[in-house]
Structure formats: structure tokens, C-alpha cells
Amino acid sequence: MSTSQHPKIFIDGEAGTTGLEIRERLARVAGIEVKSIDPALRKDAAARKAMLREVDLVVLCLPDHAAREAVALADELGAEAPRILDASTAHRVAPGWVYGFAELNAAQEEAVRKASRVANPGCYPTGAIALIRPLVDAGIIPADYPLTVNAVSGYSGGGRSMIQDYETGTAPSFELYALGLEHKHVPELMRYAGLSRRPIFVPSVGNFRQGMLVSVPLHLDALPGNPCLRDLELTLDAHYRGQELISVAREPMAKAVRLAAEELNGTDRMELFVFGKADLKQAVLVARLDNLGKGAAGAAVQNIGLMLGLDSAVAPASSAKARQPAQLR
């Protein structure tokens, strides 16, 4: 591990979509050094181990199996191993790893600061957990309540083959996927939303590069205590009050509105909404975020800032196009 004054960071898998986004954001941060390995040696175990020994923090932007191999390589270094931030799915529910959603609860930010190994959240779970967890903690949604989570993302979150299909015009305008209900994000969604019953998760992809909407429909009269729309809104607002990157829209929720998925592109922010109609006793919770921002690279840079004590330089400043909190139209 490096002992230099300025922290050194190695992005293992920097040529991928998330790795490139993280590197671009870190390039704007003074006082850190981002190290790279010779592309010809990126699969050479000895060269990678030498790089791991040299840096303070490694960010894994790799497929799950490769991320596990990288962690095993770091384990061989013992006390010389760097701290690890894993952007893959491999360690999000693994023992010994801290979940990198600092706004999860009052203790999570400090847990990320102190952790030697942090699992970066998935883009879809980030929106779903942000909506559900405060309501579970408040007793409004029971842990065993049968929930459905619907989501649409830009194609940039779908991996190399999906990106290629959309950018070459061979993909459909819109598609549902993971209809076998076995999406790999469900275990982390359950754990960190505080759910004991597996939700139905239906993801989809639209013909736009980035941007995301995650929605959770609710029958209010099926919930304990028959909560109203205002109860949901106030609970979310109390949980995220004072947070720089997450805001709750505070407007009358009975209005008929439309939400575009791309409004937060280029930022690391997330907006939460409570829609519904009181006399129908129905609500729809919605999270809007950039799947490459708060849903991936932006969250990673936020966690890097916490882990290395660079909060003011990294997290809020990484939002390239900061916007005011949402107003409903």
C-alpha cells in the first residue's frame, strides 16, 4: 500500500463504461494520483499484484468473476493490500463488505469511511432502496409486504453487447428483460431495502443512452394504518433532509404529471417523488437518477471521497450539471 502524501488510485477495468466515467470524474480532483497498468499486462498476475501493492485504493470495474479474482489477488498481499471499492455485483451481499450507499441510514456514511472493502450499489437497487428503506424503517411498509419494482434505464447500463446493439441501430426501441424474475440485483435490493419477501422486479431498457426511472406502486389501504400520500412524502423527506445528492420533490401529489428519465443526466443526484390520488388510495413512488451517475460512477466517486477523506473535493463537485431540486410540472 502506498505511503505517499497524495492517495494513489488504480481503476482495474478502466476501459469499460463505468471505469471511463470514474476516471473522467477523478481527473477533476486535485491531490490524488490515478495509476494505470500497461494494457498488455492487464491480465498478468504479477504486474497486477505489484500495482495493488503500490496504491491506496483499487476500484474494480470488472465482471463478477474477474472481481473475485482481483480480491483474491489482493488477499495475497496481506497488510500491504489496498482498500477496495468493487463496482461489480460480486460482493454486494458478501460478508465483510460494506454497502456503499452512504444515505442508507445514519450510520452508513461512517461505515463507508472506515471500511477496507466497499461494494458499490447497483443502479436499479439504488433507486428502489432509496424509496423503500425509509418506509420500512418507519413501519409504513412491512418487511414482508408483496412489492413490485418497475424500472427503465438507458442502454449504457446494459454491458458491451447491449450498448453495441443500440448504437448500431439493431436493438428495439424498448424492451423488457429478466422476465424469469432472477435478476442479479434482487438480493441486494431485498437486503438493503429491509425486505423479507422477495419483490417482483421488472427492469427494462429504452433507446436512450443514459437516465433511469425506478417506480414502486402501492395500495395504501393494504398498508398498516392506511397511510396517506403526505405520510409517505414526509417520511422520505425526513430521512434525506440535509443530503446533498438526494432530494424529495415537495408538491401536491394529486397532479397528473409526466417524468422524463434523462433530466438528471450528467449529475450525481437522485430525485424522489410520491405520486397518487387520495380517493383511489393508490400511490406510485418514483426515483429518477442517471444510471451512470448516482447509479454507478457517481456513487463510486462519492465512496472514494468518503474512503480517502476527500468528501468536499470529490462527491458534490463530481456533479457536472448540478440542478435545483425537482419541481413537478
Question: Is 228 an annotated catalytic residue?
Answer: no
Burial of 107 (0-12, 13-18, 19+ CB in 10 A): exposed
The C-alpha atoms of residue 199 and residue 9 are separated, in whole angstroms, by 37
Torsion, Cα 156 162 163 166, to 10 degrees, reads -110
Among candidate residues 59, 62, 118, 123, the one labeled active-site is: 123
Smallest Cα–Cα separation from 50: which of 7, 86, 29, 81?
81
Instruction: Give Cα 138 to chain centroid, integer Å.
Output: 22
Amino acid, single-letter form, for residue 281 = K
User: Is-contact 178 201, C-beta < 8 A?
Assistant: yes
Measured distance CA(65)–CA(69) in Å, rounded: 6
Angle at 314 between CA 309 and CA 320, to 5 degrees: 170
Which residues are tagged catalytic?
Answer: 123
